[in-house]
Structure 1
Amino acid sequence: MKTPDNIIHLKALGTVVSNLRDAMRHFVQRRLREQNIDLTFEMLQVINTLSEKGEINQQEIANLLNKDKTSITYLLDNLSKRGLVRRVEDPGDRRNKIIHLTEAGHKITDLLAPIVEELHEKASKGLSVDYLKNVTKSLQVIQGNLELE
């Protein structure tokens, strides 16, 4: 039985998306090492999320980064030890903690912004805005198809 072309291409797409994520992670980690910034790619994701969204709880961070709450706890513990984030009790629900960037956390975003900008510039080189919009929409459809169940 012959495999339909869309299945063949979807398998290739899955491989490319996985390899792209790895390449992005390696690019960022290389730049962080070059600048002696003691953070991992995942820590950078948390810091960027807090920088963009402001003060949010741990579950919201987990949802936005598509990670489990335990992984986020570990990342927040490490970021807290580095003095980059702090947890504050949620006045509306004492079981929740609201996560804040500290002053040092805000300062490090200034160091991280050029790395993220360079990543985006390099990754999008030679690609039109329309093309990127179409690829993004296609990937969102695929993601939505998988989340329906």
Structure 2
Amino acid sequence: MIPSNCTVCGKIYMKISKPICPDCARKELDTVKRIREYLKPRERRNTPIAHIAKELEISITYIEYLIKEKYFDVARYPSMMYGCRNCGAAITTGAYCINCINELQQEIQQAKETITTSDTSKAGNGEDGDDHFYRSRL
């Protein structure tokens, strides 16, 4: 156990796993229970997050945080989704939707290919590239 400051209230506590103190963890679980109780009737399971936030007076970002922490099963609570960081599409896990992940992977692959191409062109021109910089400093 490591002494740490709670990310919510700033109080010093002995950190076991979460970055919040036991009091704030208890409050977090109480909030989750309130939301689950609100969604208990079948007709409320598809209630949008914005409506839940308004009814229970909980911020939307905090509800999104609780979803990201996997307090709500999407199969049971289908409305418990939040926006992709890039495009805003509704997602249930991670920070990005599948389309944005694929785009990012393509951009990374293109950047790798560009770097590889520029490295081989330097070697083909007879230039030492970065190696010369380091050797001249020794």
> What TM-score, normalized to structure 2?
0.31
In proportion to residue count, which structure has more helix? 1
Which fold has the larger relative contact order, with Cα–Cα distance below 8 Å and residues 6 or more apart in sequence?
Answer: 1
User: Highest Rg: 1 or 2?
Assistant: 2
Q: TM-score, normalised by structure 1?
A: 0.29
